[in-house]
Amino acid sequence: MKMVNLKIDGVKVSVPENTTILQASIVAGIHIPTLCFLKDVNQIGACRICVVEVKGLKSLVASCVYPVSEGMEVYTNTQFIRDSRKITLELILSTHDKKCLSCIRNGNCELQKLCSDFGIDDENRFKGEKIRFIKDESAIHLVRDNNKCVLCRRCVAACKKQNVGVINVNERGFDTKVGCAFEKDLSDRSCVSCGQCIASCPTGALSEKDSCDEVMKAIYNENKYVIVNTAPSIRATLGECFGMPIGTNVKGKMVAALRRIGFDKVFDTDFGADLTIMEEAYEFLDRFQNNGKLPMITSCSPGWVKYCEYNYPDLIPNLSTCKSPQQMTGAIIKTWYAQKFNISVKDIVVVSVMPCTAKKFEITRENQAASGFPDTDISITTRELARLIKCANIDFELLQDEEFDSILGDSTGAGVIFGVTGGVMEAALRTLEEALEGKPIDRVDYTEVRGNKGVKEAVYNISGKNISVAVVNGLENVPEILDEIRSGESKYSFIEVMCCPGGCINGGGQPIHNSYTRQINDIIGKRMKAIYSEDKNLPLRKAHENQAIKMIYDEFLDNPGSEKAHEVLHTNYTKRNKF
């Protein structure tokens, strides 16, 4: 690999050719501010915040797209550069809705931080006409407020990266805005509700539909029995909302905080993940052994399921009929648990804490009400939980660790790893191998399906039969695999698809980090490490070893795949018209 030598603010740097000045600055330990840039998502040089001087050039260049060259001398913090950045920020702010105190991103807004760094207030010198935009609140999971948009196009790039592409830049010049084609509402387009646009937005222009007030209203109602359950990935990300290092496992503090907020029971969605594996693994076995529809594709990622319904409706029969862990947990709470502890179903409110804005859509799907009432009543994101904790004046870091409530708080390592890409497949394999072999198996780790690669493949010989599997990491990699199925060329028997890159640990409802933090940290890798570390240290790591799962099958569900199990834990899907 050819290396290029240059100087940045006098610091000698050697980087591979085709490296941008911005990338080289990271190697030099120099921070160049950015706004429209987002690593692996958006590199267009449009905002002009990252401009730098290059010796010998008469004009400033955008460091995020300008490549290095041998002997180049770069300056990143001259008075000329600072003045240019300040004027750009003042112009952006001149049309911006400056209601920062009430903004959901107050304190975590990249524009706000830049204005603070450059000493800019809302009484800037550029005043003129402003366009007032109407909020788009049509989608069940998201609010778009273009009055706070800075036209960085990061959301547009994120949506395209997900192979969805339902938003773009409309109009031109002063009238430019982000929206859907023909100015349609987002709810009228084939959005899959993944929320990656929200996670990419540097300001408060995009946010999830907030359900915090709805949660607290239920808790304050003395006639309601409010139960919360938290997804596997939340323990590895929630701490980041309180300034803790990326990838810190805060499971115990999270449980303690939820009790102090006022929930009647605190359960673990990992239990629902174990239950999902029991149903999914045996569903696969039935298909595999009885000439059923293969390859079978996982169904626990609602963004992926919705994408399939829009784009590959002919492959709906390949989807597992299993509900997601969120919905299975809610279904069991409102059926078996309600009956066992003599609680009226109509008085139970199930709240789930999810990494995913698509979960807000999922709870409204048809055939998600095993008890006659919705399996899950309210789904909130990691960010919403953090807001609830802060509003309750809880000092999160000082909390002592507490344990989930049993029985539906009991889980195994198989449930934990649902939070990462490849985790569902690995959890299933742990149970599949023992079921096919008919005896305990020492192997627990299926490392071939781990990691953040776009598509991971493996073949396992189990009981003399080859099972070929694939793990698809993010919707951008879906066509490669699904087009093979359509053409009849697929070699796989079992496929896991995760909507978001990295899986649930990188869901659209997770803590939002600024562009610079995303440049210098392997956020997905650190969160993955926390998940696999917990799995490794748990005494039980296979779903079928969960004693609570065994008890529920004995008392209520009979066997995996039984008529009762299908009634409570399985669902169906529908073709959606793509717009």
What are 522-540's pLDDT values in tens digits? 999 999 999 999 999 999 9
Binning pLDDT at 50, 70 and 90, where does residue 554 land?
very high
pLDDT value of position 54 = 98
Q: Degrees (nearest 5) of the Cα angle 156, 207, 252?
A: 120
pLDDT value of position 144 = 98
C-beta separation of 362 from 507 below 8 A: no
Return the closest-CA partner of residue 523 out of 538, 537, 503: 503
Taking residues 37-54, what's their average pLDDT?
97
pLDDT value of position 128 = 75
pLDDT tens-place string over residues 482-496: 999 999 999 999 999
pLDDT value of position 41 = 97
Looking at every residue in the chain, the average pLDDT score rounds to: 97
Residue 326: pLDDT above 90?
yes
Binning pLDDT at 50, 70 and 90, where does residue 125 land?
confident
Which run of H or E residues covers position 414?
helix 413-416
Taking residues 235-253, what's their average pLDDT?
98
pLDDT value of position 127 = 80
The token duo for 342 is 């003599």
pLDDT value of position 432 = 96
Please tell me the distance from the alpha carbon of residue 105 to that of residue 150, in angstroms, as a whole number: 14
Residue 496 to residues 168, 191, 238, 358, 456: CA-CA distances in angstroms? 30, 21, 25, 17, 10
Binning pLDDT at 50, 70 and 90, where does residue 126 land?
confident
Domains annotated for the chain, with CATH where assigned, are 3-77 (3.10.20.740), 103-208 (3.30.70.20), 213-569 (3.40.50.1780)
Residue 122: pLDDT above 80?
no
pLDDT value of position 318 = 98
Taking residues 148-172, what's their average pLDDT?
97
Taking residues 293-308, what's their average pLDDT?
98
pLDDT value of position 579 = 80
C-beta separation of 414 from 431 below 8 A: yes
Taking residues 360-384, what's their average pLDDT?
98
The answer to whether the Cα torsion of 133, 139, 140, 146 is positive or negative is negative
User: Does the model's pTM come out above 0.75?
Assistant: yes
Residue 35: pLDDT above 80?
yes
Which run of H or E residues covers position 456?
strand 455-462
Taking residues 71-82, what's their average pLDDT?
97
The token duo for 124 is 């800037």
What's the half-sphere exposure (Cβ side, CA atoms, 13 Å) at 324?
A: 31
pLDDT tens-place string over residues 400-440: 999 999 999 999 999 999 999 999 999 999 999 999 999 99
Residue 76: pLDDT above 90?
yes
Beta pairing partners, 263: none
pLDDT tens-place string over residues 567-576: 999 999 999 9
Percent of the chain with pLDDT over 90: 97
Q: Count H helices, E strands: the chain?
A: 20, 17
